Structure 1
Amino acid sequence: MTTDDAKLLVERVGPLATVQDLGRPGWFDSGVGVSGAADRGALRLANRLVGNPEGHAGIEVLLGGLTLRVLRHTTLAVTGAPAPAAVDGRPVGHASVLELEPDQSLSLGLSATGLRSYVGVRGGVDVVPVLGSRSRDTMSGIGPEPLRRGDELPIGPAPRSFPIIDLAPLADMPAVLDIRAIPGPRDDWFTDASALFSGSWTVSADVDRIGARLRRNTGPALERGIGQELPTEGVALGAVQVPPSGQPVVFLADHPITGGYPVIAVVADADVDLMAQARPGQTVRFRRC
């Protein structure tokens, strides 16, 4: 049972912060997508660092700018995009176990690389689940509202396991993202589908939890060979959908479950997390998988 002092107090929020777990699978037949953390690996790591099961809910933070205060001893960890973190103004390590005492605050600055950071808390963020998940689906509006200053987030009971490491070694995020993708299912709708894998693309400013729109940097344009309309069909996480503009959109965590534009390829599941960290202006190259 959560006690009155087992909570996180939100003192500052940057561009966007939402509660996320690993999503709500099993509701496609009702028109509800999985949602969940855009960078699933980063959330899993945050939970492992604080001794939680990997699916516990944490906080997904866009670009940084979040400040949390605790009312009792609380174990936290920050993973994903390496936003500079500080406890009461003292810099602390990224992807490390942080022990905060009563009335101490964790603050995240703006991340210089990557897009989304994750705050894990021992016991998990214990908001009321909706359809079996505590995730906010920004497209459908299902789940807890985005965080605002003054919010109080309950913390669940601490698990019996304990963190066994203090710091997780992580590679730096590359300047150019090499994203593996599987051609199809509608690559035959294009005059030359291999153009997706030629040259490079740039992430546009049109990026959110639903998807990331790309514009051509170098290489040939994507041109439709079939001009007719495509009946609406199901689309998967990581689907690369190409609207008439020829600027592909890579679907992310809150993507629609159906779409009416041809999907030229699907990002390999192992690279979806990396794609979720792509910032506007970053270069992306697709590699045939």
Structure 2
Amino acid sequence: MKTYEPIAAKTVAFLGLGVMGHPMAGHLARAGHAVTVYNRTAAKAAAWAAEYGGRAAATPREAAQGAQFVFACVGNDDDLRSVVLGGDGAFAGMASGAVFVDHTTASAAVARELNEIAMQSGLHFVDAPVSGGQAGAVNGLLTVMCGGDAAAFDAMQPVAMAFARAVTRVGESGAGQLAKMVNQIAIAGLVQGLAEAIAFGDRAGLDMKQVLEVIGKGAAQSWQMDNRGKTMVDGQFEFGFAVDWMRKDLGLVLDEARRNGAKLPVTALVDQFYADVQAMGGNRWDTSSLIRRLK
């Protein structure tokens, strides 16, 4: 069970109660913070408040009023703008000096855009995408990579530790999103390699669960092998990080690579392999379903 470092209770808001946001907001409440939540589907916010004893708000602006920290975890750039900007957006309700912490996997460009708007309004913005998936969110063991002002990061870091095992600043505004792109590039190639290894071993007549147990103690070991190898062998994919989400993330990666000139031949290829999985009806399958193309 997650244990929480004792810090002074803060007044916080959380916007977006999907598979990640719901447990993340829950950890903030369990750590003793006063939490107000907002979700586009109001029933989800009401259900969260009933479970954790917080308060549900009708708009992002209402949720953000009086909050020292406003956390968000929504779908994409446009979803983020919709909960931040405008008359009902969070920025309209935040007091001067408050910190907005965005856990959405979004573009570095939108992070910089919103950071500029925040500064003009006397607010702070930290881009803070996460790694660790739904299990990491549920267990409070996410890895959070952050970009933004150092003072704002220092203020939010101990609060975010309620749902994380590591919260690290990697640079100025947008750097958190760029670090998340590095993470997704590494994962894409690794999962494809693991899929090919398992498919090869199956064709060779090996007991692949035993083989994974053996090579998992050597240089081939990885989080993906430890947590997805056996389910890949069994053909189980109805869980985890969905292919649709990975393709969204890889789209951000490839867009950024076109801007900065990085060469990503393997990543571009794996992105198309995920398109093949979508064509097979695997939109909501876990990313480890790449192996389905090989069987």
**Greater share of strand:** 1
Question: TM-score if structure 1 supplies the norm length?
Answer: 0.29
**Greater share of helix:** 2
